[in-house]
Structure 1
């Protein structure tokens, strides 16, 4: 049986460090849900509990984002296929909408008011 060498300890320590860093960076979405909007290199954060209508300009025209009843959706967009409009309302943290022609990215972050850790899908 071979003994554990220094290199084995280095790999073990690095693995634990990367796991801990990932947990603290991505696994700690707490606080009230917020809507994060990024257009190109600019970014904005809005409270999901405050109803508002926002207009963002992009390369293909304007994208109108509506926040209402703690949900968000793209109300209208000047893009060609309007996939972002068809995405519908989003209300849970981690859900997102993107309008590629207008370079608009919308994501909800924070803790889910209905409780985290719900079932994403069920298979039989």
Structure 2
């Protein structure tokens, strides 16, 4: 039978503590800004301000709601409504493919930049 030594215990505790902090960073999103991409424009919004946003897409208008630091599609003219069924934005973007609209978190960058244009 193998006895755990002092160095083994330190390495084991370090791995556990590191994995807890890494998992906490993945789960909690530090970005407070989102980017809504349309087929012709990009919009940037703060999650701390509650609002309703109407975005024109390929099929018509989609309604996006920002409330309590969360964002989601409220209505869309697409047929299957998968963007609405996907619920609240968490780690992966919400995309309405037929209407050409996507919602994603802004990457954490040190310099605050603005979007100049969209390449098609």
Fold match by TM threshold 0.5: yes
Decide which structure has greater strand share: 1
Q: Distance in 2 between matches of 1:82 and 1:32?
A: 27
Q: Which residue of 1 aligns with 2:36?
A: 37
Q: Which residue of 2 aligns with 1:97?
A: 94
Q: Distance in 1 between matches of 2:106 and 2:78?
A: 25
Q: Which residue of 2 aligns with 1:14?
A: none
TM-score calculated relative to the size of structure 2: 0.60
Q: Is the 8 A contact 1:37 1:104 kept in 2?
A: yes
TM-score calculated relative to the size of structure 1: 0.59
Query: Structure 1 residues 31, 85: closer, same or farther in 2, change over 3 A?
Result: closer
CA displacement at 1:107 relative to structure 2:
0.5
Q: Is the 8 A contact 2:94 2:103 kept in 1?
A: yes
Q: Is the 8 A contact 1:96 1:107 kept in 2?
A: yes
1:1-124 mapped onto 2 (5 Å cutoff): 32-90=31-89, 92=90, 94-110=91-107
Q: Distance in 2 between matches of 1:95 and 1:71?
A: 13
* Structure 2: gaps (5+ residues): 1-28, 109-120
- The SS at the match of 2:43 is strand
Q: Is the 8 A contact 1:33 1:110 kept in 2?
A: no
Number of corresponding residues: 80
Q: Is the 8 A contact 2:63 2:76 kept in 1?
A: yes
